[in-house]
Amino acid sequence: MSLALQAGLDRLTGTESNLIIAGLAVIVFLWLYIRTSRSLRAEAAARLELLQRTLALYSRAQGVLGEEVEAAHVGAQEPDQLVQLLQECKAAPLMTPELLDMIDAYIRERDFSRLLLLQKMLDREIHRRIHEQSVLIRKIDNPGWGTSFWRMIRPAVPFVALVLTLYWFIQLYNGFQDSGAAALSWTSLELWTRLISCLAATLFLYWVIMDTRRDTPGILYRLLALIIAAVALLHLLGLTAAPYILAVQVVLFLFGFNLNPKPSRRNRPYAGHREVTQDNEENPKDR
């Protein structure tokens, strides 16, 4: 009778423990989900504010630039307001290095050809920022089916990453328990390299999914991160492959430092650009 009662208490205790663990997991999930969802919305709102502030400065300068181009044809004097607005544009939150260099070149030389180039570049930048703003507003106010579904599941990614991280450490613990490997054995090295490899894969995959910055590296970097994460699937082949898998991931990671996307035609240095000016100063031609 006492043994049956003890077995019942053990089963009840195990059930309660499972309920407590499940309850804590639900609490952590809800906390991470709500926190991540708010953070993503705040990032979108902050980006929209930066776009609006930048467009306000650009639009004011573009209006005066248009008047200055028309006035230059009739020989009118350059207004001081233009230089002042261009100086204000240099403090725009989303100012690009190319546009900044063009503004500096025009303020320094006050040449009409610079003025035309500046007008074209500023107009192109305004249209690019307007397009980005409209896309962002549409995603916030009127998202499509795919965007809505992605916005629903994306805040759950931090919890999934946390669960995976705990699983990798539990896997390490169970590996040592099952193998009885010594601390300085080859099996121990394999277990630790598998842990590091899986953690790196989780980290890279998390970065690809959660990073919302527009100034991050291009598609090549994200593709490389996905490849590094996918290589971790080779651990299904067995523990003996762990050191070699980690070595491949390290090589791929180091290869990323050589992935420097070539600038587009519009982003290449133009005459008067800082890089061109510095090269001319360092290598003067004999006249």
- Which pair of tokens denotes residue 111? 């040449």
Mean pLDDT along residues 33-61: 93
**Within a 10 A sphere around the Cβ of 264, how many other Cβ atoms?**
7
The predicted-structure confidence for 189-227, as pLDDT tens digits, reads as follows: 999 999 999 999 999 999 999 887 665 557 888 899 999
Domain regions of the chain by residue span = 8-141, 155-260
The predicted-structure confidence for 58-94, as pLDDT tens digits, reads as follows: 999 998 888 877 776 655 555 578 888 999 999 999 9
* Residue 125 burial (C-beta neighbours within 10 Å; 0-12, 13-18, 19+): buried
Nearest to 88 by CA among 134, 266, 80, 115: 80
For residues 98 and 75, the model is more confident at 98
pLDDT of residue 65: 87
DSSP state of 268: S
The predicted-structure confidence for 132-171, as pLDDT tens digits, reads as follows: 999 999 988 888 888 889 899 999 999 999 999 999 999 9
- Which pair of tokens denotes residue 105? 């070149």
Statement: residue 242 has pLDDT above 60 = yes
Q: Are 194 and 235 in contact (CB under 8 A)?
A: yes
> What is the DSSP secondary-structure string of 142-202?
S--HHHHHHHHHGGGHHHHHHHHHHHHHHHHHHHHHHH---TTSHHHHHHHHHHHHHHHHH
Report d(CA 89, CA 102) in Å as an integer: 12
pLDDT of residue 213: 67
Lowest mean pLDDT among 53-62, 111-120, 271-280: 271-280
Lowest mean pLDDT among 9-23, 39-53, 259-273: 259-273
> What is the DSSP secondary-structure string of 21-42?
HHHHHHHHHHHHHHHHHHHHHH
Q: How far is CA 226 from CA 60, 198, 200, 205, 238, in A?
A: 42, 13, 11, 6, 21
> What is the pLDDT confidence band of residue 182, given thresholds at 50, 70 and 90?
confident
Average pLDDT over the chain, rounded to an integer: 83
> What is the pLDDT confidence band of residue 287, given thresholds at 50, 70 and 90?
very low
> What is the pLDDT confidence band of residue 276, given thresholds at 50, 70 and 90?
very low
**Which long-range contacts (C-beta less than 8 Å, at least 24 apart) are formed by 148-151?**
151/40
Q: What is the 3-state secondary structure (H, E, C) of 41-62?
A: HHHHHHHHHHHHHHHHHHHHHH
Report d(CA 82, CA 65) in Å as an integer: 7
Can you say whether the dihedral through the CA atoms of 43, 45, 49, 51 is positive or negative? Answer: positive
Phi, psi of 114 (to 5 degrees): -65, -35
**Within a 10 A sphere around the Cβ of 121, how many other Cβ atoms?**
18
* Residue 181 burial (C-beta neighbours within 10 Å; 0-12, 13-18, 19+): middle
Lowest mean pLDDT among 37-41, 124-128, 155-159, 181-185: 181-185
3-state secondary structure of 101: helix
What is the helix, strand, coil percentage profile of the chain, to 5?
80, 0, 20
